[in-house]
A and B are shown apart, each in its own frame.
Chain A
């Protein structure tokens, strides 16, 4: 009987062996692939929180289930993290013994030839006048010049040479797998110490690298949102160049910036694919759009709202939509909400509807619909600054404004003026200290996998035995993989080796006969 402790340990060992087996690795790889699927089909919170809210509103039952399962943040869900943690453990557990074995193999000598060459997949034999020792010495020299690792054995009546090549295969394979761990480590460093945020900046305004300046910020887990490297930036001008068909040709944002919190004084031009480096962070130009300047006044002319409001482009013509919310019209009066669309080049379509024919602002106009009632700001429902929740509102009509024009009274005597417009850019600011580690590890992994898949580990033996008619030379070899490519290599090598044998070379008759198909 075994003691319970021993059997516990035995079952632990068995579980470990199971976890680090190839089969488990295969199953885990498959599970990771399947587990990533929901992350590509369903909207993801880190990428687009509004899309998730919309999905939850449209599919309440399924949505709630998915939410509980973590499908809206798949790649941070416990089961996904658990899966790849298991894969990492399996990988480490499988690599440690393999590295140890391989280090031993790198120092080991090629093994002695088999007793019988008949079982080797590739073999030839010949008879020569040389002595076994001379055959072995010549073969060893030739194999060495061809970069085989060799070891000669015996002497006198039987001498042999063992040769092996292709250790790089396992080296490459191990480098590949270790580098995968390096990639994961680099990703972890980035998640802990880096940060990433997005902010909309309107022409003529500035940006300070602090948490409140962002519309969306993902701070590093170990650093927190308070610890951002300080810098300031100001958007002087944005320019988009379009082809005549409205296709964008180039975007450029002229900015001034400074590391630290001083007045920005250095000039730079941001373009797509050409970020700006400042204070260890990089600033990217992601997107752009129009921001109409809208002023709302009450019936006595007091300003209720005065803002250059970023609108979101809806299509290639940059028809852009946005929302103005005026909660404090006057005590006792309903709140005011305006849903508006900015049209860079306004035109009337054949069906009578308004549209924009080009993203270039040659004939800008603003269309709107006003609502009065309760904006729902106190309802506790999540607020989206680009959308109007019309549940507590009633429409009071709409219209079209050209720059400088003021609307008729909307509700409670309030009016809206479309003063003009500016452009905005969406900047992504990021710092990822793990990035270099990831790149280096990825390149090493690539080199490793190429080596591992191209190189074959193979062995060749030459045995020379003294016999009455001369010395019988047998040459045989095997390769773990890619048998027919090895057969070709072996054919050449064997031809080369037999050329070393002077005098009458004969092929034993039986060797030729047995090969007839």
Chain B
């Protein structure tokens, strides 16, 4: 049994289309950031920075008044930003199509090598971003999600590209599906968390250099295009805290798989070691958020270290360090 060449080619073209969409969307998001006005804080206009919360009926009425005064979202940059979201969704659909056709072409799950894996991680990141967008006004994140996704897919499509082929027997287990889906999902979400964390670090250092600009209020409105550092910090924490249990589950499922394949659930193979390091660093991140003197900047730096460990776990280990996992192939 070998791969179906037509479907495999379709998959490659769909991925190319998806990358194109992501590039266009990235430019759109960037244009909105460059020429648009400040993005709102928090989940709804009323709640961000305000100290009081009202029953729902009053909120909507007051929100309407405030939004009217504020001018709401209008102007061409906003329209470009909204169009960028639409293009992102289109890219996301093509991306899904690419994965499905690849899976059909090789008659197996489409994440058997590093190329397919990278593509699926990016899909998880875009999915996480789009999902977050339905819950919170985080369009300002768009460019910062699209950029790593495009770079990542670019590397995956060139350096790591592997032609469609069936799996080696050790990867032929249903635990691989469970383990790998969890690993990819959490990695995609961590990637989103990483983007927000970088944004937070940038914004936080800007705020330290400009203490005279208030976080919210009239002075902030015209000068600041990103939400306050504290808002970004909260978003980053939520995203990372969402991914952490999924990563935990991925590690457990991986151990179950290792037990079935190799007779031991844990053997300090380089891949296992780095997934442990990643887990411990993110556990440290969650701790830091609850430790006096470590909140904010230091916690964010630990978050960056966590994502770095994750990248080492995927790439450095596969490319430079060999172990039992290395037959997963480039």
Contact = CB atoms under 8 A, between A and B. Distances in A.
A439 interface: yes
Contacts of B50: 515, 517
A247 B168 contact: yes
Interface in B290-330: 290-294, 302, 309, 317, 321, 323
Interface in A171-222: 187, 196
Nearest to A514: B52
Given A26-B288, A196-B264, A449-B244, A443 B293 contact: no
Contacts of A41: 270, 321
Interface stretch (B77-85, B116-124, B151-159, B255-263): B255-263
Interface in A24-57: 25-26, 29-30, 32-33, 36-37, 39-41, 44, 46-47
Contact of B287 (A26, A430, A438, A491): A26
A36 to B, nearest CB: 5
Contact of B51 (A47, A121, A491): A121
Contact of A124 (B52, B169, B238, B241): B52
Contacts of B255: 442
Contacts of B323: 47
A22 B287 contact: yes
Contact of A247 (B48, B165, B175, B274): B165
A225 interface: no
A36 B265 CA distance: 18
Interface string A106-143: 00000000000000011110000000000000000000
Contacts of B43: 484-485, 488
Contact of B263 (A250, A282, A450, A511): A282
B234 interface: yes
Contacts of A450: 245
B3 to A, nearest CB: 10
B276 A26 contact: no
A450 B56 CA distance: 29
B53 A22 contact: no
Contact of B170 (A29, A272, A438): A272
Given A243-B1, A443-B252, A449-B248, A248 B168 contact: yes
Contacts of A488: 43-44, 47, 53
Interface string A254-272: 0000000000000000011
B181 to A, nearest CB: 16
A449 B173 CA distance: 28
Contacts of A251: 169
B252 A22 contact: no
A32 B165 contact: no
Nearest to A286: B262
B294 A26 contact: yes
Interface stretch (A64-72, A230-238, A386-394, A492-500): A492-500
Contact of A445 (B248, B294, B309): B248
A360 interface: no
Interface string B263-295: 111111110011011001101101110111110
A428 interface: yes
Interface in A277-291: 282-284, 286
B166 A243 contact: yes
Given A26-B287, A44-B268, A453-B244, A33 B55 contact: no
B268 A39 contact: yes
Nearest to A197: B263
Contacts of B53: 122-124, 487-488, 490-491, 494
Which range contains the number of B residues in contact with the other chain?
35 or more
B241 A453 contact: yes
B58 interface: yes
Interface centre among A74, A491, A494 (most CB of B within 10 A): A491
B49 interface: yes
A381 interface: no
Contacts of A33: 277, 280-281, 284, 309
A495 B265 contact: no
A115 B131 CA distance: 41
B287 A446 contact: no
Nearest to A495: B55
Interface string A84-121: 00000000000000000000000000000000000001
Contact of B47 (A40, A283, A487, A512): A487
Nearest to B135: A485
B261 A39 contact: no
B52 to A, nearest CB: 5
A244 B2 contact: yes
B265 A432 contact: yes
Nearest to A497: B55
A259 to B, nearest CB: 18
Nearest to A281: B263
A248 B273 CA distance: 27
Given A23-B291, A273-B172, A446 B248 contact: yes
A354 B35 CA distance: 65
Interface in B37-69: 42-44, 47-59, 62, 66
A435 interface: yes
6 contacts: A36-B276, A430-B264, A435-B259, A453-B242, A453-B245, A482-B238
Interface of A: 22-23, 25-26, 29-30, 32-33, 36-37, 39-41, 44, 46-47, 74-75, 121-124, 187, 196, 243-245, 247-251, 271-275, 282-284, 286, 428-430, 432, 435, 438-439, 442-443, 445-446, 449-450, 453, 482, 484-485, 487-488, 490-492, 494-495, 498, 507, 511-512, 514-515, 517
Please list the 10 inter-chain residue pairs (A to B) with the smallest Cβ-Cβ separation, ordered nearest first: A495-B55, A40-B273, A284-B263, A428-B263, A430-B263, A40-B270, A22-B291, A29-B284, A33-B280, A487-B53
